A = this chain, B = another copy of it.
Amino acid sequence: MMSKKKETMGRQRIPMVRIKKETHRQVTFSKRRAGLFKKASELCTLCGAEVGIIVYSPAKKPFSFGHPSVESVLDRYLSRNNLSIAQEQKPQGNTAASGVLNMELTQIVSQLEEEKKKGQAMAEMRKANAVRWSMTNWWERPVEEMNMVQLQEMKSALVELMKIVVSETITGKPLGLRM
């Protein structure tokens, strides 16, 4: 059998990491964005789902897809969040609690990595000793630099403070805080 020379290399496997070559990345972005939107539209027609997608290109150019419209889906999402959050079925994080999808995990991980990037030095600090953190003047720093753990602590601190304040206003007792 004469092996005919292949005209193209065909689709090649590519590693799932940021594509280095600028032009190549741009082309891939365009094609995959189109593919993503097509998949979305198919999901809509096949299953009668409502979908809203917002994409920012590496060059920060905005693209969007929506059915019936971006606005309607967004509005629904936002207003839902404002009503009652506790009993609402959690969209992303909590579905993972019952049966963890790899993808969801990946997403969470990537978000955590983002957090890490924001304050690497802080991660070190926290490792060294968590106590010292509570004595540093984090409130003089931008929120963006805090990681999740610190934000959690900030939240508890605030909630505790609120309890104390409420208690004080009701009972009239002194706070007993030292700062």
Contacts and interface: CB of A to CB of B under 8 A. Distances in A.
Interface residues of A, number: 111
Interface of A: 14, 16-19, 25-26, 28-29, 32-58, 61-82, 85-86, 88-89, 91-93, 95, 101, 103-104, 106-107, 110-111, 113-115, 118, 122, 125-126, 129, 132-133, 136, 139-145, 148, 151-152, 154-155, 157-159, 161-162, 164-166, 168-169, 174-175, 177-179
How many copies of this chain does one complex carry?
A: 2
A117 to B, nearest CB: 9
Given A43-B36, A77-B64, A107-B67, A129 B82 contact: yes
A148 B143 contact: yes
Contact of A67 (B26, B72, B110, B179): B110
B125 A75 contact: yes
A155 B143 contact: yes
